[in-house]
């Protein structure tokens, strides 16, 4: 069982290596303006706010998905 | 409606169970496994909750897990895109495990539960409230408020690191949230690392160290300026932006901070663990504490502005910062303040279950609650006569047994008066990080040597750390400058002037450790160097036997308060069973152990023998 686990991990690692090379790295280089990346860049907003608006009243549906 | 709540797999795993909205049981996994902050699937805590409630897994209407695992995964992914190529090694190291966790989460979750009991997994409904909804629900629903602003602040959940919500009736609305990587909890943990303490464990130490800092000194002002200028931008509404050039927690591995950059910024090396603490460390601790308080005040003010409520419910790891809580209370910004006693992630198990009950199943919330529904936080397991007798037999002990609670109280109060330190073990275990009189080490607050004795000879922890008092609720304003109840030891306030002693003229210029030796009050052992104390108010209603003990102590000494610290030693969780309590008792210089109505004593020979056995055992292992 542990051999199968190790084998799966190894296969995933190879896949992840290529994912990193062909997706993560290019995304990092060419998508500097990507919305999710703005969170990481230090830009002060004098007089502004760093909060994200949600305005969501939680309902049954919000507890369902993972 | 029967709901099981589960939190964990990162740190402080826990479980809680509800029946028709009533909290039946809640406990942290660490107490059973004896691994501090245990992050494993809380199989023992779940087992206890099921046994306490009498439910089987197949009886449950739902199981609520405290966050959304897939949403958390998107955060990891975005972080790696941003940090590439910096995060390449951690990516290859951690991502396979995370991917397996993501795709097989539900399967592993169910198979862990099946180790306890067999059940038809198709009949079990699993719900996933957001992490900060779990925090918000854990504090709002147990509170007495019909409506309330809710503020949750911690390290991070899925994406959110803080949220401002509004609760009304059985509904919770999230208004705003702060998102990763900007996190007040992580800022505090970063300083915890820089000051040489363990992350997720040493934050209390930073808080305890801060009062040794010199408030108006140039160094503290310089540090505050540096933090504000280089590390964090604090907006007027309390939202913050952490300069990621100085942090590395966004991609796994290697701690919170970029050490070299921090050392250059503060012009000081990072303190290595267990090396000598200097004044500058105290000043750094004070600086981050001041910035933390500023952010908490501003976030609370924003919550007030957005909701208009007179009530505030607090939760999340930062809500365990009792000093900030005490200052928030003093501002009178809100008329009423409620803080969840298990504000860390363990409390999310309860919050997830409550969110499922009130939001998913749309159950009505009681309108006219007079008291909160936490039952004094005594929600853990209780071990009785049977287990104690087994221990007595197994160890061949000859304790003194009392059949009358008054006699027991008088006897133990006398022992405390004579300078003895008592391990006090009664009833159900507390849920959350505080010992509230059922798993506590007790001593005389007026004894000048008590702080040093308990720190060094019993808890084996740093001598600078302060102790908290348990005070009779009706006597609280005699000793402390506080006019509200504090049953969960989550508020810090000053002691009354009438109890303070005059300080020497050179007090402020003294070496920081020397301040500990200065007599500051007639309740010295619970008076911190800045005259503050972290209060637990005790009532007969929530803990009759503990209240009776403090009353007996008052009759003997005139003082209606005791030193109360958690029943554990450094590096171990609070004791759970009578056997845990006995082991802890034998490994320390504690003088007496009270298990229910049995009083155990030991002499120096017993202690030496126990320590020799302990040494042999650890050698073998």
Which residue ranges form the domains of chain B, and what is each CATH number?
A: 385-620 (3.90.870.20)
B601 three-class SS: strand
ipTM comes to 0.89
**Contacts for B491 with CB less than 8 Å, ≥ 6 apart:** B322, B325, B326, B329, B339, B482, B484, B534, B535
- Residue B610: the pLDDT is 63
- Nearest-neighbour CA in chain B from A3: distance (Å): 15
Half-sphere exposure of B576 (CA within 13 A, CB side): 20
Contact in structure between B255 and B197 (CB atoms under 8 Å): no
Among B68-77, B120-129, B156-165, B314-323, the minimum mean pLDDT is found in B68-77
The domain segmentation of chain A, as residue ranges, is 2-63
- Residue B207: the pLDDT is 94
Searching chain B, which residue's CA lies closest to the CA of residue A36? B78
Mean pLDDT, rounded, for B413-429: 96
Mean pLDDT, rounded, for B356-376: 93
Set of chain B residues whose Cβ sits within 8 Å of the Cβ of A66: 68-71, 105-106, 128
Query: What are the angstrom distances between the C-alpha of B311 and each of B298, B332, B339, B355?
Result: 16, 11, 11, 20
Contact in structure between B194 and B262 (CB atoms under 8 Å): yes
Q: How far apart are CA B435 and CA B424, in angstroms?
A: 10
The sign one gets for the Cα dihedral B50, B358, B133, B374 is negative
What confidence category does residue B604 fall into, taking pLDDT thresholds of 50, 70 and 90?
low
The pTM of this model reads 0.93
Searching chain A, which residue's CA lies closest to the CA of residue B236? A47
A62/B95 Cβ within 8 A = no
A24/B81 Cβ within 8 A = yes
Higher-scoring residue by pLDDT: A8, B301: B301
B172/A58 Cβ within 8 A = yes
Is the pLDDT confidence value at B583 over 60? yes
Among B55-64, B206-215, B460-469, the minimum mean pLDDT is found in B460-469
Set of chain B residues whose Cβ sits within 8 Å of the Cβ of A48: 235
Residue A48 forms contact with B (CB below 8 Å): yes
Residue A55 forms contact with B (CB below 8 Å): yes
**Which of A29, A37, A50 lies at the smallest CB-CB distance from B239?**
A50
**Contacts for A6 with CB less than 8 Å, ≥ 6 apart:** none
Set of chain A residues whose Cβ sits within 8 Å of the Cβ of B359: 58-60, 62-63
The sign one gets for the Cα dihedral B571, B573, B578, B579 is negative
Q: How far apart are CA B147 and CA B444, in angstroms?
A: 41
**Predicted confidence (pLDDT) per residue in B267-280, tens digit:** 999 999 889 999 99
Residue A24 forms contact with B (CB below 8 Å): yes
What confidence category does residue A42 fall into, taking pLDDT thresholds of 50, 70 and 90?
low
Is the pLDDT confidence value at B474 over 60? yes
- Residue B436: the pLDDT is 97
What confidence category does residue B128 fall into, taking pLDDT thresholds of 50, 70 and 90?
very high
Q: How far apart are CA B51 and CA B246, in angstroms?
A: 48
Residue B584 burial class via C-beta count within 10 angstroms: exposed 0-12, middle 13-18, buried 19 and up: buried
What confidence category does residue A1 fall into, taking pLDDT thresholds of 50, 70 and 90?
low
Q: How far apart are CA B412 and CA B594, in angstroms?
A: 8
B12 three-class SS: coil
A65/B235 Cβ within 8 A = no
B356/A63 Cβ within 8 A = yes
What confidence category does residue A33 fall into, taking pLDDT thresholds of 50, 70 and 90?
low
- Residue B593: the pLDDT is 96
CA B577 from centre of chain: 20
A58/B245 Cβ within 8 A = no
Set of chain B residues whose Cβ sits within 8 Å of the Cβ of A17: 92
Helix B88-103 and helix B105-114, axial crossing angle in degrees, nearest 10 = 60
Structure tokens at B72: 């958390």
What would the DSSP string read from start to end of B367-416?
S--SS-TTGGGB-S----HHHHHHHHHHHT---EE-S-HHHHHHHHHHHH
CA B29 from centre of chain: 14
Mean pLDDT, rounded, for B462-489: 93
Percent of chain B past pLDDT 70, that is, above it, reads: 97
What confidence category does residue B616 fall into, taking pLDDT thresholds of 50, 70 and 90?
low
Searching chain A, which residue's CA lies closest to the CA of residue B167? A57
Residue B228 burial class via C-beta count within 10 angstroms: exposed 0-12, middle 13-18, buried 19 and up: middle
Higher-scoring residue by pLDDT: B10, B532: B532
**Which of B67, B85, B81 lies closest to B6 in space, CA to CA?**
B67
**Contacts for B608 with CB less than 8 Å, ≥ 6 apart:** none
Residue A58 forms contact with B (CB below 8 Å): yes
- Residue B605: the pLDDT is 62
Is the pLDDT confidence value at B31 over 90? yes
Relative to beta strand B14-19, strand B22-28 is antiparallel
Higher-scoring residue by pLDDT: B548, A35: B548
Residue A11 forms contact with B (CB below 8 Å): no
- Residue B540: the pLDDT is 96
Among B135-149, B288-302, B422-436, B507-521, the minimum mean pLDDT is found in B507-521
Mean pLDDT, rounded, for B608-612: 62
């Amino acid at each position: 069982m542990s051999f199968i686990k190790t084998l799966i991990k190894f296969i995933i690692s190879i896949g992840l290596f290529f994912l990193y090379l062909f997706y993560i790295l290019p995304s990092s280089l060419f998508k500097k303006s990507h919305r999710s990346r703005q969170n990481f860049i230090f830009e002060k907003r004098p007089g502004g706010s760093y909060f994200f608006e949600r305005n969501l009243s939680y309902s049954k549906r919000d507890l369902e998905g993972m | 409606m029967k709901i099981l709540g589960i939190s964990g797999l990162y740190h402080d795993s826990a479980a809680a169970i509800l029946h028709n909205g009533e909290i039946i049981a809640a406990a942290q996994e660490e107490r059973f496994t004896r691994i501090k902050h245990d992050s494993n699937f809380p199989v023992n805590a779940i087992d206890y909750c099921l046994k306490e409630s009498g439910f089987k897994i197949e009886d449950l209407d739902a199981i609520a897990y405290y966050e959304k695992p897939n949403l958390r995964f998107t955060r990891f992914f975005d972080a790696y895109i941003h940090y590439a190529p910096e995060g390449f090694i951690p990516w290859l190291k951690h991502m396979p495990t995370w991917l397996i966790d993501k795709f097989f989460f539900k399967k592993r979750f169910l198979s862990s539960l099946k180790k306890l009991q067999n059940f038809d997994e198709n009949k079990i409904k699993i719900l996933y409230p957001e992490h900060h909804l779990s925090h918000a629900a854990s504090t709002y629903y147990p509170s007495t408020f019909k409506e309330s602003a809710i503020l949750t602040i911690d390290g991070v959940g899925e994406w959110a690191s803080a949220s401002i919500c509004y609760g009304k009736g059985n509904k919770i609305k999230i208004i705003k949230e702060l998102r990763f990587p900007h996190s007040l909890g992580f800022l505090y943990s970063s300083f915890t690392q820089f000051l040489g303490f363990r992350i997720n464990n040493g934050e209390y130490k930073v808080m305890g160290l801060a009062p040794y800092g010199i408030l108006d000194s140039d160094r503290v002002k310089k540090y505050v300026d540096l933090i504000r200028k280089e590390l964090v931008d604090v907006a007027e509404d309390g939202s913050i932006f952490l300069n990621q050039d100085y942090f590395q927690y966004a991609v796994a591995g290697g701690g919170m901070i970029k050490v070299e950059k921090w050392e250059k910024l503060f012009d000081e090396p990072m303190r290595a663990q267990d090396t000598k603490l200097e004044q500058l460390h105290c000043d750094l601790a004070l600086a981050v504490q001041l910035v933390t308080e500023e952010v908490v005040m501003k976030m609370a003010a924003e919550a007030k502005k957005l909701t208009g409520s007179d009530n505030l419910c607090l939760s999340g790891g930062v809500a365990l910062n009792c000093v900030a809580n005490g200052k928030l209370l003093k501002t009178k910004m809100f008329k009423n303040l409620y803080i969840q006693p298990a504000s860390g992630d363990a409390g999310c198990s309860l919050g997830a279950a409550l969110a499922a009950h009130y939001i998913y199943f749309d159950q009505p919330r009681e309108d006219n609650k007079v008291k909160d529904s936490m039952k004094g936080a005594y929600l853990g397991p209780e071990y009785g006569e049977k287990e104690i007798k087994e221990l007595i037999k197994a160890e061949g002990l000859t304790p003194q047994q009392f059949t009358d609670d008054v006699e027991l109280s008088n006897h133990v109060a006398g022992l405390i008066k004579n300078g003895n330190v008592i391990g006090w073990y009664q009833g159900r275990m507390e849920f959350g990080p505080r010992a509230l009189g059922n798993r506590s080490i007790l001593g005389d607050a007026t004894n000048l040597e008590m702080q040093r004795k308990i720190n060094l000879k019993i808890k084996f922890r740093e001598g600078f750390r302060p102790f908290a008092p348990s005070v009779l609720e009706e006597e609280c304003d005699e000793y402390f400058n506080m006019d509200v109840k504090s049953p969960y030891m989550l508020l810090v306030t000053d002691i009354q002037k009438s109890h303070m002693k005059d300080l020497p003229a050179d007090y402020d210029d003294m070496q920081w450790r020397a301040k500990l030796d200065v007599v500051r009050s007639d309740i010295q052992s619970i008076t911190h160097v800045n005259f503050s104390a972290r209060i637990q108010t005790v009532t007969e209603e929530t803990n009759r036997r503990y209240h009776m003990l403090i009353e007996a102590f008052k009759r003997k000494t005139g003082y209606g308060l005791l030193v109360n610290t958690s029943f554990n030693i450094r590096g171990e969780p609070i004791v759970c069973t009578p056997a845990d309590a006995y082991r802890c008792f034998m490994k320390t210089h504690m003088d007496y152990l009270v298990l229910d109505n049995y009083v155990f004593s030991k002499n120096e020979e017993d202690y030496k023998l126990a320590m020799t056995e302990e040494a042999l055992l650890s050698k073998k292992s």
